[in-house]
Amino acid sequence: MFELLICSLVTILPDYLYRRYRQGKRWGHEITFFSMWYELRYGITLCALLTISLITLVFFYHPSTSNVRSFFRTVTILPETGGRVAEVHVTNNQQVAAGDLLFRLDDASQRAAVETAERRVEEVEASLVVAQANLAAAQGAVTRAEAALKQSQEDLAREQELINRGSSAARQAELDRFTNEVGIREGELDAARAQQQAVEEQIRVLIPAQQASAQAALEQAKTELAKTSVFAGVSGTVEQFGLQVGDYINPVLRPAGILVPTEYVDKHRFVAGFHQIAAGVLKPGMYAEMTCLSRPFTVIPMVIVGIQDVVPSGQIRPTDVLVDPQDNARPGTVTVYMDPVYAGQADGIPAGSNCLANAYTNNHDILHDQEMSTGRWLFLHVVDTVGLVHAILLRIQTLLMPVRTLVLSGGH
């Protein structure tokens, strides 16, 4: 409507003045509602063409969007294991610091597992004491077997010496007995040494492995016990938290609530979605203006600091069905990141507020090119000038936004 009024001043109005004062035609006589098209056809046609051209020029080179948000991060409050709530330490809308205990699940089975694991560790430690005693006994058995073998070897050597001398006191039966006894003592010594080695290996390898396994089981049991206590990972505000003692929660099916961190991600950065047709116009460094429902009657100067190089509507992920482009109902928008030109101007705007924004093409630097043609120089001047129309429209929207929201749409 605003563009139509402007265009009519240079088309329909001159046409009417010409016919009224040059041709002498009067309103209500020669010019009526029924003859208006015929009498003012040139002005109406030019007005329609100029209006369409102006609207196209304004909205293409100075794009606008109503999809502007200041996104913020939320943290889902979830336990690492399912269970029934035993203690609740916070309430809804409460401020918490990182590390504060939120709630605790029933941990009877986990504590029993920890107790069992601790007893297993003590059992392995006791087996080490027993093994050390067995080692001392095995060493004693080796010493005894060595002494017995030495005694048998001495008896055999003495009997062999008597036989070699031809003594009448020496007998072959005694020599055979001593020989067999040496063999028995050697076997006993080998068995004692093997038993000592087995106990040593048990102390060196088996029991440490059992200790490590028992300690790992204890740590696992303690970890499972720790999962029953849920702490705040970041400082923030607890929202949608209605947990009560006795409730059953599950990390997959039933979260406990939401934690809104105190420090948002890019707290003063706003994300806008412009139509894809504006992709060739939008550039980092372009100036923009924004107005939000949460701060009426205020226009905030912004600057584009980044443009996402992909359009979300083209996102795919592997499935068992081939992607058909016609399945995307919405064409998707060009995602633009904007920051306030002046620090502090966006303070007080709640994160997630709905805002409107205009981006303005600025050809000031290009117009200083001495080799530019006159036609292009004039066109770029027109482009920069008609941005004023969009700026006026944004301010009109800013003034009408509370009325449209509270009165016309029943937003109260």
Clarify whether residues 198 and 298 are in a common domain. no
Alpha-carbon gap, residue 388 to 379, rounded angstroms: 15
Clarify whether residues 195 and 276 are in a common domain. no
Clarify whether residues 38 and 99 are in a common domain. no
Give the residue among 113, 106, 92, 356 at the shortest CA–CA distance from 238: 92
Clarify whether residues 411 and 297 are in a common domain. yes
Clarify whether residues 130 and 220 are in a common domain. yes
> Is residue 323 in a domain?
no
DSSP three-state, residue 158: helix
User: Which residue would you say has higher pLDDT here, 40 or 271?
Assistant: 271
Residue 315 contacts residue 332 (beta carbons within 8 Å): no
Q: Which CATH number fits the domain that encloses residue 337?
A: 2.40.30.170
Give the residue among 107, 111, 103 at the shortest CA–CA distance from 231: 103
> Is residue 8 in a domain?
yes
Average pLDDT over residues 206-231: 90
How large a percentage of the chain has pLDDT more than 90?
Answer: 18
Task: Please give the structure tokens belonging to residue 347.
Answer: 């303070």
> Is residue 324 in a domain?
no
What pLDDT, on a 0 to 100 scale, did the predictor assign at position 193?
84
Clarify whether residues 247 and 277 are in a common domain. no
> Is residue 6 in a domain?
yes
Clarify whether residues 236 and 289 are in a common domain. no
What pLDDT, on a 0 to 100 scale, did the predictor assign at position 264?
63
> Is residue 351 in a domain?
yes
Clarify whether residues 28 and 176 are in a common domain. no
> Is residue 30 in a domain?
yes
Average pLDDT over residues 105-125: 91
Give the residue among 225, 28, 220 at the shortest CA–CA distance from 112: 225
Residue 411 clears pLDDT 60, i.e. is over it: no
Q: Which uninterrupted H or E stretch holds 87?
A: strand 83-88
Res. 2 pLDDT band, cuts 50 70 90? low
Alpha-carbon gap, residue 3 to 9, rounded angstroms: 10
Clarify whether residues 391 and 342 are in a common domain. yes
Clarify whether residues 272 and 397 are in a common domain. yes
List the single range of 137-146, 215-224, 279-288 with lowest mean pLDDT.
Answer: 137-146
Give the residue among 242, 235, 260, 255 at the shortest CA–CA distance from 98: 235
Alpha-carbon gap, residue 61 to 284, rounded angstroms: 14
**pLDDT tens track for 152-171:** 777 777 767 766 766 655 67
Q: Which CATH number fits the domain that encloses residue 216?
A: 1.20.120
Averaging pLDDT over each range in 26-35, 240-249, 263-272, which range is the top one? 240-249
Q: Give the number of domains in the chain.
A: 4
Alpha-carbon gap, residue 397 to 390, rounded angstroms: 10
> Is residue 85 in a domain?
yes
Q: Which CATH number fits the domain that encloses residue 250?
A: 2.40.50.100
376 lies in which domain range?
62-70+264-314+330-412
pTM of the model: 0.69
> Is residue 319 in a domain?
no
Clarify whether residues 410 and 289 are in a common domain. yes
Clarify whether residues 396 and 279 are in a common domain. yes
